[in-house]
Chain A
Amino acid sequence: DTGVSQNPRHKITKRGQNVTFRCDPISEHNRLYWYRQTLGQGPEFLTYFQNEAQLEKSRLLSDRFSAERPKGSFSTLEIQRTEQGDSAMYLCASRQAGDPRNEQYFGPGTRLTVT
């Protein structure tokens, strides 16, 4: 078990460009979450999957954002036409349904800078 991994760790892009981030959860975890964290703030929920089904989306997830988990394993988060306000740390977390500790295991995050 190598934990949750995210790639890339850092991404610098120009406003208007599209970016895609990848999250590889802990292999036996069937739930996967995306959060966004800006400087000095706690993580804010964006969306989550159970297996390949996207079960909930935050109103923070505008139509420029799309997330997929095609085979119920890794997930991608794409941001189209990036804006400077999208600059943040994007965190992925996973958990196994039924875990009594209700723990979400977080990856190291992808830091996005939009110039």
Chain B
Amino acid sequence: QKEVEQDPGPLSVPEGAIVSLNCTYSNSAFQYFMWYRQYSRKGPELLMYTYSSGNKEDGRFTAQVDKSSKYISLFIRDSQPSDSATYLCAMSEGTGNQFYFGTGTSLTVIP
């Protein structure tokens, strides 16, 4: 079993839709949860960062962590064509430790 599971999609939504992306994990020692966005042929860039359980909002993006269920989510409101990318969840046990990534979900927002 992989440490982190993520539905690879692809996911295709109309512009303005709410997008929900999810990951599950098996390692209860994970405390830091990140969402990265990766455009084609580019390196990942950090979107959201959450420590432990709870919600965090940044503009159109909301990250949720439920450590009891080992489940994290990223919501994108009012999705835009520029949001079309691959979204990777990542987790680590501590700061500075290696990240464990999901497989990534490919998202296309259709104008």
A contacts, CB < 8 Å to B: 4, 31, 33, 35, 40-45, 48, 50, 56, 58, 91, 93, 95, 97-109, 111
Per-residue A-contact encoding for B70-111, CB less than 8 Å = 1, 0 else:
000000000000000000101010011011111110000000
Known pairs A31-B96, A33-B99, A106-B44; list 10 more (Cβ under 8 Å). Answer: A33-B98, A41-B103, A43-B99, A56-B98, A97-B95, A99-B95, A102-B32, A103-B34, A105-B46, A108-B42
Cα A35 to Cα B101 with chains together (Å): 10
B contacts, CB < 8 Å to A: 4, 6, 8, 32, 34, 36, 41-46, 49, 51, 88, 90, 92, 95-96, 98-104
Between A and B, how many residue pairs show CB distances below 8 Å? Answer: 67
**Is the CB–CB distance between A106 and B49 below 8 Å?**
no
> Of A31, A100, A109, which is within 8 A of B43 by CB?
A109
With A31-B96, A95-B96 as known contacts, state yes or no: A106 contacts B102, CB within 8 Å: no
Nearest-neighbour CB distance to chain B for A49, whole angstroms, equals 11
**Is the CB–CB distance between B43 and A40 below 8 Å?**
no
Nearest-neighbour CB distance to chain B for A31, whole angstroms, equals 6
Which residues of the other chain, B, contact A48 by a CB distance below 8 angstroms?
Answer: 98
**Is the CB–CB distance between A42 and B101 below 8 Å?**
yes
Nearest-neighbour CB distance to chain A for B90, whole angstroms, equals 8
With A40-B8, A97-B96 as known contacts, state yes or no: A4 contacts B43, CB within 8 Å: yes
26 contacts between A and B (CB under 8 A): A4-B43, A40-B8, A40-B103, A40-B104, A42-B90, A42-B101, A42-B102, A42-B103, A42-B104, A43-B99, A44-B101, A45-B98, A97-B95, A99-B95, A101-B46, A101-B49, A102-B34, A102-B49, A102-B51, A103-B49, A106-B36, A107-B43, A108-B41, A109-B41, A109-B42, A111-B41
Cα A14 to Cα B15 with chains together (Å): 44
Which residues of the other chain, A, contact B88 by a CB distance below 8 angstroms?
Answer: 42-43
